Chain A
Amino acid sequence: MASLEVQLRLTLHSPDRRFDLDVDFTATSQRTALIGPSGSGKSTVLQAIAGLLPQARGRVRVGGQALLDTPHGIDLPARERRVGVVFQDYALFPHMTVEQNLQFGLRRLGQRADAGHGQRVDALIRQFDLESLRGGLPRNLSGGQRQRVALARALAIEPRLLLLDEPLSALDAPLRKRLRRELAEMLERVQVPTLLVTHDPQDVEALAQDVICIDDGRIVDGDLRG
């Protein structure tokens, strides 16, 4: 089992707030939840792991491979990290069809489509039951369909690590319950180490094998699984 080692320090400045993050944890389970109240810095940790916060200092290693190691001058840009992210609200490209969203990570600008890419997209479309939605635009999809497309898009790049940012927070309660079950089944089949950020103990219960708690930018003890 590939482990995720994270030691991060960074400071975020906004006009009304200064936020210090200083976390150190190792996740060894296949699926780990990072749980904390809103504003605790959990999404910040996730963005730093993905390489989206240039001010991050410290170390991030996945299965022994360094994505960030500022003491040794290593800081891979997001595009080279091969970390799949399912964003809060999914952030599907609104001007692209489902199929184009899935292709985005496979085909670089100016590169010709090749058969391997097509097969990979076809496989994802079958795996996530998206056949009938292939040519549809994200705005015409239901919440559950969007979630499947977002997960498939993140997995298209064959990531070494999968990050989920509050994957269920945008949904109302009955739908959340159903999609939580669907997501749990999908993650069960996906053999990629996963870190999931949430504020909801029920997500932890259903989706993760291990849990790390964060509060006010620090890792804290405590089991929130109730």
Chain B
Amino acid sequence: MNGTLLDVRDLRMEFQSGGSLLGRRRKMVVGAVDGVSLSVRAGETLGLVGESGCGKTTLGRCILRAYKPTSGQLNYTREDGSTVDLATVKGAELRSYRREIRTVFQDPNSSLNPRMTVLQVIGEPLRVNGMASGSELTDRVAETLRLVGLRPEYMRRYPHAFSGGERQRIGIARALVTRPRLVIADEAVSALDVSVRSQILNLMQDLQEQLGLTYIFVSHDLSVIQHLCDRVAVMYVGQIVETAETDALFSRPRHPYTETLLAALPRPDPRLRKNERATMLRGEVPDPANPTAGCRFHPRCPYVRDDCKDGIPELAAVTPEHHARCRYAAELELRGVASLV
């Protein structure tokens, strides 16, 4: 149960941008994911948080192998216990992993083809992977629909006939129909209303228990992350800056960026209104095409010291389960949410 399912080692994903046809403008290389190492344990929910542009979606897509990473390893443990580096597999072998690692997208309105019925949408991964056809396919779609709390009778309808929450259930069914082991949920509840969001979160928890799934839950919403995840990785400009167990991260963050994120979170209780924002974040997320020298966070960090400009700090262990990419992680007294209550 607690073995490593996926071990990401020094993963890099670079995109080229700019540059004109005649080569008059200089080409730029954007390191969207810049040396990420991360392990995902079987059966856990790992949260991936960060602001837009930090590379969390790109990292998810690399794991799905929607992108081919520029360098690095994706060591995936097969069901029989052997490991394989997904970053280099190709062709038919890669296709076989596409059943095992699946994704749920953010916006159920744009991620379902309006011209396909629910049966076609959910059945397509089975058909493409040659896993089922004909009445067997219909049966499996019906079974998956029941699993996500939809009535199989509706499988011949089109997505527009369903509400936002139901469409997200269809999205989840499409991910689960191939019986995956790892599901990457990329902002899967961000587009949903509060009352529907709680239904989907509960459903995802139930399915995890029932099917023994492992989740990578990508989100910018810390309250959802805290509710759902066992461990959390915080990303900033292409790098992981902190990983820890959820409770440890929320009660005692070790990286100044995590503290800032927690402090910026609006909390649904007017009595917790901050009289003054002690750690107001200065400036904006830097452009990943043009990252700052030294610690990526130092221009915005309230605790910045002189040597923060020299070289990128290592992601080092503060406690065995708690890693932070900050030279002063051990000495800084950072405030988590518990101290805000």
Whether A and B are associated in the same complex: the answer reads no
**A contact set with B: CB distance below 8 Å:** none
Residues of B whose CB lies within 8 Å of any CB of A are: none
